[in-house]
Amino acid sequence: MPESSGAVAQDRQPNSSLRHVLVVGGTLCDWADLDDSTWQARVDELGRFCAGLGVQWLTLRAYESGPDAASDLKLWTHLVDGCEVIVDPCGDGRQRFAEAMQRLDPDDEVNEATVVASLYEPADSEPDLVVVLGPPTQLPPSLVWELAYAELVFLPITWAELRADDVADAVADFSNRRRRFGGLDE
């Protein structure tokens, strides 16, 4: 695996506007190529970095399922220094959305808040920042709802190359933006 491009600064200031970061990259076959210790190291490194920024949730999601995808992978979570890392292997955004709608209580009103609560469970907010690994010419099929309000940052790297430094670059890009939450400039 490639070496990290540089050391992640340990003295980063918390970013109070950044609560939930979603990193989308790799197919399930790419994910399966990483052994358990590499996965744990990746989750710990990214979780520590995000925790240092005050991020409450970091979701890692497959870009797409891809051919020959392992169907036995399940969503799992791991708490790292106060940041809950959610590993979501579902690379099909339509499937994930349909499953979230099925989890809604039929007695509850269906609105944006109830959809968000079901779709991002166990996180209780939609992502502020979506980091997409790959070229900016194609949106991942694993993103459906996220495109409404999240800021997108594309990184031209593969899943195997992802390091905390790359997420730091995406967060720096995010920090320099003026968020309009779907609105237009006046």
Q: Is residue 15 part of a domain?
A: no
Tell me what pLDDT residue 13 has.
54
Question: Range with the lowest mean pLDDT among 3-12, 60-69, 140-149?
Answer: 3-12
What is the average per-residue pLDDT within 1-9? 37
On the question of pLDDT at 92 being above 90, the answer is: no
On the question of pLDDT at 182 being above 90, the answer is: no
Positive or negative torsion for Cα 135, 5, 52, 12: negative
Tell me what pLDDT residue 94 has.
84
Question: pLDDT-derived band of residue 50, with 50, 70 and 90 as boundaries?
Answer: very high
CATH number at residue 78: 3.40.1180.10
Total count of domains within the chain: 1
Q: What is the mean pLDDT of the chain?
A: 82
What is the average per-residue pLDDT within 3-8? 39
**Phi, psi (deg, nearest 5) at residue 121:** -50, 130
Q: Is residue 184 part of a domain?
A: no
- Which range marks the domain in which residue 135 is found? 20-175
Question: pLDDT-derived band of residue 1, with 50, 70 and 90 as boundaries?
Answer: very low
What predicted TM-score, i.e. pTM, was given to this entire model?
0.81
On the question of pLDDT at 84 being above 50, the answer is: yes
Question: pLDDT-derived band of residue 125, with 50, 70 and 90 as boundaries?
Answer: confident
What is the average per-residue pLDDT within 149-173? 91
Q: Is residue 149 part of a domain?
A: yes
SS (H, E, C) the chain: CCCCCCCCCCCCCCCCCCCEEEEECCEHHHHHCCCHHHHHHHHHHHHHHHHHCCCCEEEEECCECCCCCCCCCCCEEEEECCEEEEEECCCCHHHHHHHHHHHCCCCCCCCHHHHHHHHCCCCCCCCCEEEEECCCCCCCCCCCHHHCCCEEEEECCCHHHCCHHHHHHHHHHHHCCCCCCCCCCC
Q: Is residue 104 part of a domain?
A: yes
